[in-house]
Amino acid sequence: MKAASDVKAASNVKAALGAKPAGAEDESSAAQMVRQMFNSIAPRYDLLNHVLSANIDRVWWNRAARRFHGVLADPDAAVLDICCGTGDMTMALLKHRPNGARPILAADFARAMLVRGAGKFDGHGAVALEADALHLPLRNESLDLIVTAFGFRNLANYVAGLSEFHRVLKPGGQLGILDFSEPGGLVGRAYAVYFRRVLPAIGRMICGKDGPYNYLPASVGSFPDPPAMRALMQSVGFTESSWEPYTFGIAGLYTATKPIVVG
């Protein structure tokens, strides 16, 4: 008999297969709406992130980057920051790269976000790549590390995204997914009020748009919980999956490895 947690994970895997912005009819329209949304808020994106998180987001990026110091310290390691947005995760990863190391690939499919990111990391050991996470223009088994921060949740198909990551990682390659979650208990209830009521109002005041910061709490609410997310990672062939909560579980880092097949 399956444990209760396994049953819940399997149920959530079926229920939450990808981002679904209001009005999206299929995966294609969902992806297009997400791209348009992030292009539209790109000029205010950094300010909003820092204000709405009280600068805790900077702590999260740096903590996630430290987790992969061993890989990043190898100058020949091939590294991808996918859904890189305006480049803050890329900059955190670069702190762990030695001089003369192979450049990090920083990729996003929202051009306006990518342009702003390139302004930060250009000339610092990273190169911008306009690319869709579901259709990476990279060879099979060509990367040692893939990291994505607060972008995976916006993919139109989570299984397809994980499968694509698995395809381009070398055997033994590592995956890190930093994203929001919904904490439980008193902290969770207090945070839910902020996340669903206060945050959209602040976002609307600063950004002048209503949709993007209503979408954010909705997308977190429909995202797989940690057991379900780990089940998804394992379903496409990843092993050693784990989840490390950050700041009472408001966010957390998922990690997994593409196994080395012997014989």
What pLDDT, in 10s, does the model give residues 172-185? 999 999 999 988 88
Q: Provide the pLDDT for residue 103.
A: 98
Mean pLDDT in residue range 75-100 = 97
Residues 6+ apart with CB under 8 A from 66: 96
CB contact at 8 A, 64 and 91:
no
Q: Provide the pLDDT for residue 86.
A: 95
Residue 3 pLDDT grade (very low, low, confident, very high; cuts 50, 70, 90): very low
* Res. 39: pLDDT tops 80: yes
* Res. 191: pLDDT tops 90: no
* Res. 136: pLDDT tops 70: yes
Q: What is the pLDDT of residues 4-24, one digit of tens each?
A: 444 444 444 444 489 988 888
* Res. 2: pLDDT tops 60: no
* Res. 131: pLDDT tops 80: yes
Rg (CA), the chain: 18
**How many CB atoms sit inside 10 A of residue 239's CB?**
11
Residue 39, Cβ density class (10 Å: 0-12 exposed, 13-18 middle, ≥19 buried): middle
Q: Provide the pLDDT for residue 261.
A: 85
Q: What is the pLDDT of residues 194-241, one digit of tens each?
A: 878 887 787 777 776 666 778 888 888 889 999 999 999 999 999 999
Q: Provide the pLDDT for residue 210.
A: 65
- Strands 239-246 and 169-180, how do they pair? unpaired
Average pLDDT, the chain: 89
Choose among 90, 105, 97, 116: nearest CA to 178.
Answer: 90
Which of 51-65, 128-142, 229-243 shows the lowest per-residue confidence on average (mean pLDDT)? 51-65
Q: What is the pLDDT of residues 152-167, one digit of tens each?
A: 999 999 999 999 999 9
CB contact at 8 A, 123 and 153:
no
Output the CATH code of domain 19-181+224-257.
3.40.50.150
pTM here is: 0.91
Q: Provide the pLDDT for residue 202.
A: 79
CB contact at 8 A, 112 and 34:
no
Mean pLDDT in residue range 134-163 = 97
- Report the distance separating Cα 237 and Cα 228, nearest Å: 15
Coil, helix or strand at residue 99: coil
260 to each of 74, 100, 155, 167, 240, how far by Cα in Å?
A: 19, 28, 27, 13, 12
What are φ and ψ of residue 152, in 5° steps? -60, -40
Mean pLDDT in residue range 106-122 = 96
In order, the DSSP letters of 13-54 are HHH--S---TT--SHHHHHHHHHHHHHHHHHHHHHHHHHHHT
Q: Domain ranges for the chain, please list them.
A: 19-181+224-257
In order, the DSSP letters of 166-205 are HHHEEEEEEEEEEEE----HHHHHHHHHIIIIIHHHHHHH
- Report the distance separating Cα 39 and Cα 261, nearest Å: 41
Q: Provide the pLDDT for residue 262.
A: 81
